[in-house]
Structure 1
Amino acid sequence: MPTSAAAEGRLRVLEAVTDSALARLDLDKVIAALVTQVPGLLQVDTAAVLLYDHGSDELIATAATGLEEEVWQGVHIPVGVGFAGHVAACREPVILDRVDKSTVVNPLLWLKGIQTMLGVPMLVHGELVGVLHVGSFTQHRFTEDDVALLQLVGDRLALAAHVRVATAERAALTALQRSLLPAHLPSPPGLEFAARYVPGSDTTVGGDWYDVFELPGERIGIAIGDVAGHGLAAGIVMGRLRSALRAYALDHDDPGEVMCRLDRKASHFEQGAMATVGYAVIDATHNRMRLSLAGHPAPVLAAPNQPTRLLDAAPDPPIGFGLATGHRGCVTVDLPPGAVLAFYTDGLVERRGHLLDDGLALLRDTVVPDSPAAVCAHVMSTLVGAQPANDDIALLVARRTPD
């Protein structure tokens, strides 16, 4: 049974971490409000929060009281190194009875005169969010109740940080996605375009994109792609690939060569990233298209008085990881007047519990020689209907206008 003093301390901590006023504050203010209360709640002299940065695999000093220099000097601690790094790596509370060069890597801690420390991990669903630690300028015996109380505060901070960061990341990615998808599709003589983009119902916004752009020589470039993964990291890679593809398209007429250079760039600078990409160029007369596929599903072609079909274009390996060697393939496709092309990402044709071939067959049967806007509406109504997709969907439809 906890002592009356311990029970009173637990009550004070519970009141602090459940204060409804915290819900109205932004993340920095929530952290600051709780950190300033911790020393009084646990009868210690310092408290600090270090948030985990996934990109660098480091803990970054974000807020402190009694140890503000950690924040002012921008202290970064690699996970697994030093006191806080050890707490993050083992994901368990750690008590330190001696603070010196042999036990911590941050000289501020012993220069400030801290004698003993307690650190707890900040976790949400087992995912590391950061580390909360406290210190005392005198020898202080941390009890099991102290550990439990500090963990309560750490859990509250972890949840606040996780929710706010996830919300901010989704907003940033949504803005990024909207800025990279064309606001207006070009309308060159003889060609029409329409597109749809829908984020998946149970994922964050991902790395799907489409693009249509004019090239020298009255040519039109069409690109569609899907970066593996979701979240801001996938969105950033998507933006970089889109920009790089446009740049290479200006210098190289052959879509296969554009894809080769895109793969080389991604394999070198975007290590760990992978994407499927389709890139096509329609010439000035609009009667033919050159197409290269990097792991991406083939477009659907529907032309008047012809059976609708998936284009016979064998895909090369996806972009990234240096999977392709040598030249990438390119096929030439005739586009008779009135021909419709449907480019798409796999979220349109993949459904849980259904075969991919069935989805592709349904798409093939749905695309008809009609206006791009009408084709988009018909495809989305037939393949998506009243059931939201699990994955992101990008659909781009082009038509060579009838003579």
Structure 2
Amino acid sequence: MGKPLIDYRAVFRALPGMVALLTPDLIYADANDDFLRLAGRTREQLLGRYIFDVFPENPNDPAAAGMRETRESMLRVVGSGERDTMALLRYDIEDPQRPGVWREHYWSPVNAPVHGPDGQVALVVHRVEEVTELLHARGGANGGARAQVLEAELYTRARELQEVNERLRQAHAQEREVALALQAAMLPAPGPTGPHATAVRYRPAVGALNVCGDWYDLVDLPGDNLAIAVGDVVGHGLAAACTMGQLRSALSAACRVADGPAQALEALGLYARFVEGAEATTVVTTFIDWDSHTISYSCAGHPPPALVHGDGTVSFLDEATDPPLAARPEHLSRPQAHVGFTEGSTLVLYTDGLVERRDEDIYSSLDRLAASLTHHRHSDPEALADALLADLLPTAGTTDDAALIVLRL
């Protein structure tokens, strides 16, 4: 028996309950039949129009917040790529046949992303449960009174939930500001690296809490040599920023006294066992010897550095990879590898927020990075860093922060 042919457009329009599709700019792309019927609008009145031009806030209700809360929910979906369930809210709708007359509605909305081939949010699914009729249902002589009491109670609870959500949002925003300020203080611009041009970048995540676990560092070594490292703490927010600061400082000190990157990571791994929140941190460290034109490196569960050669080919330094910090029950020596380079090559270290996407495997992510590096190989480090961010990060941002170092060898 062959596969049945399914008309998905017909299925969408017949879905029970109110469902609409919007672009990331919150423009109506489609709506099912129940949405049109219950919202009192035709398809022509919706498609191609901004959602809040079609359904503005009731100007007669100074406490109305449905439009703002719905917009923030949808923008969270666009920014995070994750579903957002809203609390019950009141959102009045103007009667299309009687301008200026507003009818109260109670909605229970859920907003969900539809990802495109590039991993970005291509559409927002806006599903709404209409509960107004339930609130206004009458059952017996006192049904109307009971409905009014229930309506008032639900409205009060919805307002309380909205106030709690707003306080949480403000607290998260304040924590984000503090964490980002701490992050900026801990990640200064690199100092002089002689004739070798360097660029660094840090891009925070779009979420209120998903920031401040990543770091980078450049450390002067004896003989005018250089150590470069990037790392990523598991966790987010202010606690992750504090843990990041401790690990960054410890690794900086270890690099200055260690015989190589593996020994530096061994010392950092021992230290991480006594730092709260440091378990499973990933980090990669490279030691650059200008005289021998050699890069020594060791990696603790981190994406491999990329070495861009003069002809545009890209090598990933993945021959010395080990588990993240404090991931093993016992302490073991870390591996170390070496690779030669020619003058004019470019070394790029980065955290996973730059390359990893939920809808592709890591090899595809690294292929995208390599393609961008090859395309922009003639750019100076500052221009190359900007190009990598433009090529690899979604325009709406990501749910993970990203750190990046570009060094011209």
Q: Which TM-score band applies after superposition, normalised by the shorter structure? A: 0.5 to 0.7
- Matched ranges for 1:7-26 at <5 A: none
Cα distance change of structure 1 residues 245 and 356 upon mapping to structure 2, 3 Å threshold: same
Secondary structure at the residue paired with 1:297? coil
Q: Does 1:193 align with 2:198?
A: yes
- Answer whether contact 2:287 2:296 (CA < 8 A) is retained: yes
The structural deviation recorded for 1:187 is 2.9
1:330 Cα shift? Answer: 1.1
Equivalent residue runs for 1:358-397 within 5 Å: 358-368=364-374, 369-370=377-378, 371-384=380-393, 386-397=395-406
CA distance in 1, matches of 2:241, 2:408: 29
**Structure 1 outlier segments of 4+, above 3 Å:** 151-165, 321-325
1:202 aligns with 2:211: no
Between the aligned partners of 1:192 and 1:323, the Cα distance in structure 2 is 41
2:275 pairs with 1:269:
yes
Contiguous gaps of at least 5 residues in structure 1: 1-19, 21-150
Asked if 1:221 corresponds to 2:227, the answer is yes
Q: What secondary structure is seen at the aligned counterpart in 2 of 1:214?
A: strand
Report the alpha carbon displacement of residue 372 of structure 1 after superposing the two structures with TM.
1.0
Q: Superposed, which structure 2 residues align to 1:1-400 within 5 Å? A: 162-182=168-188, 184-204=189-209, 205-270=211-276, 273-285=279-291, 287-305=293-311, 307-323=313-329, 325-368=331-374, 369-370=377-378, 371-384=380-393, 386-400=395-409
Give distance in 1, aligned partners of 2:406 and 2:354. 13
Count of residue correspondences = 256
How far did 1:217 drift?
A: 2.5
> Matched residues in 2 for 1:203 and 1:333: separation?
40
CA distance in 1, matches of 2:286, 2:308: 16
3-state SS in 2 of match to 1:228: coil
Q: TM-score normalized by structure 1? A: 0.57
The one-character-per-residue Cα deviations of 1:334-386 (angstroms, maximum 9, x if unpaired) are: 12111101111111111132222111111012114432122212222221253
- Contact 1:255 1:292 survives alignment (8 Å): yes
Counterparts of 1:374 and 1:388 in 2: how far apart (Å)? Answer: 20
TM-aligned CA distance change 1:210 to 1:377, over 3 Å? same
The residue type equivalent to 2:385 in the other structure is: C
Residue deviations 1:176-203, cap 9 Å, x none?
A: 1101112x21332232111221111235
Summarize the Cα distance change of 1:372–1:152 in structure 2 as closer, same or farther, 3 Å threshold. Answer: closer
Aligned AA (2:219):
F
Q: Per the alignment, do residues 286 and 209 of structure 1 end up closer, same or farther by CA in structure 2, a change over 3 Å counting?
A: farther
The aligned amino acid for 1:316 is: D
Distance 1:298 1:272, change over 3 A: closer
Cα separation, 2, equivalents of 1:372 and 1:313 = 25
The amino acid across from 1:169 in the alignment is E
Moved more, 165-174 or 220-229: 165-174
Q: Is the 8 A contact 1:272 1:321 kept in 2?
A: no
Q: CA deviation at 1:292?
A: 0.8
Correspondence for 1:141: none
Deviation at 1:153, TM superposition (A): 12
State the secondary structure of the residue aligned to 1:309: strand
Provide the identity percentage.
Answer: 34
Please say if residues 287 and 295 of structure 2, whose CA atoms lie closer than 8 Å, have aligned partners that are also in contact.
yes
* Conserved? CA contact 1:186–1:213, under 8 Å: no
| Shift in Å, 1:174 | 0.7
How far did 1:324 drift? 6.0
- Judge conservation of contact 2:355–2:392 (CA < 8 Å) in 1: yes
Summarize the Cα distance change of 1:284–1:164 in structure 2 as closer, same or farther, 3 Å threshold.
same
- 361 and 160 in structure 1: CA distance in 2 versus 1, 3 angstrom threshold: closer
CA distance in 2, matches of 1:162, 1:270: 25
Shift of 1:219: 1.6
Quote the offset at 1:304 in angstroms.
1.1
Letter in 1 for 2:355: V
Unaligned regions of 5+ residues in structure 2, if any?
Answer: 1-62, 64-156
TM-score computed with the length of structure 2 as normaliser: 0.56
Q: Distance in 2 between matches of 1:342 and 1:324?
A: 31
Distance 1:230 1:189, change over 3 A: same
Partner SS state of residue 391, structure 2: helix
1:162 to partner: Cα distance: 3.5
> Given the superposition, is the C-alpha separation of residues 288 and 358 from structure 1 closer, same or farther in structure 2, using an over 3 Å criterion?
same
Please state how far the C-alpha of 1:168 moved relative to its aligned partner. 2.8
Change (3 A) 1:296 1:203: farther
Q: Could you tell me how far apart the structure 2 residues matched to 1:153 and 1:389 are?
A: 31
Structure 1 residue 228: deviation in Å? 0.7
Find the aligned partners of 1:327 and 1:350 in 2 and give their Cα distance: 28
Distance 1:336 1:166, change over 3 A: same
Distance (Å, rounded) in 2 between the aligned partners of 1:377 and 1:153: 44
CA separation of 1:347 and 1:324: change in aligned 2, threshold 3 A: farther
CA distance in 1, matches of 2:235, 2:369: 24
